[in-house]
A = this chain, B = another copy of it.
Amino acid sequence: MIDEHEVRDRIVAAADALYYARGIHEVGMDAVRAASGISLKRIYSVFPSKADLVVAVLGERRHVWDRDLGRSLASADGARGRLLAIFDFLRTWFETDDFRGCFFINTYGESGATSEAVHAVVRQQKADFQALVERLALEAGGTEMLGRQLSLLAEGAQTSAAIAGDPSWADDGRAAAEALIDLAIGTVAAPASGSARTHA
Contacts and interface: CB of A to CB of B under 8 A. Distances in A.
A118 to B, nearest CB: 11
Interface string A131-160: 000000000000001001101111111011
Interface in A157-200: 157, 159-160, 162-165, 169, 171-176, 178-180, 182-183, 187-191, 193, 196-200
Contacts of A111: 23
A107 B110 CA distance: 8
B163 A23 contact: no
Interface in A33-92: 84, 87-88, 91
Q: Which of A151, A175, A180 has the most CB of B within 10 A?
A: A175
A5 interface: no
A105 interface: yes
- Range for the number of chain A residues in contact with chain B: 35 or more
A96 interface: no
A2 interface: no
Given A155-B155, A182-B191, A189-B188, A110 B110 contact: yes
Nearest to A194: B175
Contacts of A198: 84, 88
A196 B174 CA distance: 10
Contact of A152 (B104, B152, B178, B191): B152
B179 A26 contact: no
Contacts of A13: none
Given A114-B23, A154-B156, A156-B154, A108 B199 contact: no
